[in-house]
Amino acid sequence: MAGLTGRCLCEAVAYGLTGKPARTTICCCRFCQRATGGAQLILPVAPMSDFHLTRGGAASYTHVPEGSGKAVHLHFCRDCGTRLYMTYARWPDMVGLFGGTLDNPTVVRFDPTTTKQMGWMAPAPGVAMRHTAGVRICN
Ligand SMILES: [Zn+2]
Ligand SMILES: [Zn+2]
């Protein structure tokens, strides 16, 4: 996994990641459900220094979650609304990708220590999924 690329739905914004994510979690907390509009967030987290936009520019929305009380910045395409990545007041040197925007989402390997699921979901192959988060890195 020598670098990843991704983009939004309308292709106005694209990004690249050198190296590989430090970890990848699946999160089904309400923050991640609302932020994605789906059942879960696939969240590869990487050093900010490895991340760069390769096309366009993203708009951002800042949310202060009840859990941490620390701002999370959601970066999205202003044309199609796809959320592409998150940055954090708590971890200014880290970036979290909305993993569904990866050009090849199947390359990420989940970290079972930070992955949780909804009760009705089957575990991902090879991942011992838990119902409670270990280290919450979404918000
Ligand atoms: Zn777009
Ligand atoms: Zn979450």
User: Ligand 2 centroid vs 3 CA: distance in angstroms?
Assistant: 24
In this structure, whether the domain defined by 4-107 belongs to CATH 3.40.640.10 is answered with no
- What the block records as the tokens of 107 is 């390359």
CB-proximal residues (5 Å) to ion ligand 1: 8, 10, 12, 77, 79-80
Predicted local distance difference test score (pLDDT) of residue 20: 85
Per-residue pLDDT tens digits for 112-126? 555 555 555 555 555
Predicted local distance difference test score (pLDDT) of residue 95: 95
Ligand with the closest atom to the CA of 8: 1
The pair phi, psi for residue 42, each rounded to 5°, is -90, 120
Helix, strand and coil percent figures for the chain, each rounded to 5: 10, 35, 55
Per-residue pLDDT tens digits for 96-115? 999 999 998 777 776 655 55
Per-residue pLDDT tens digits for 1-39? 458 999 999 999 999 999 888 888 878 778 888 899 988
Sorting pLDDT into bands at 50, 70 and 90, what band is 61?
Answer: very high
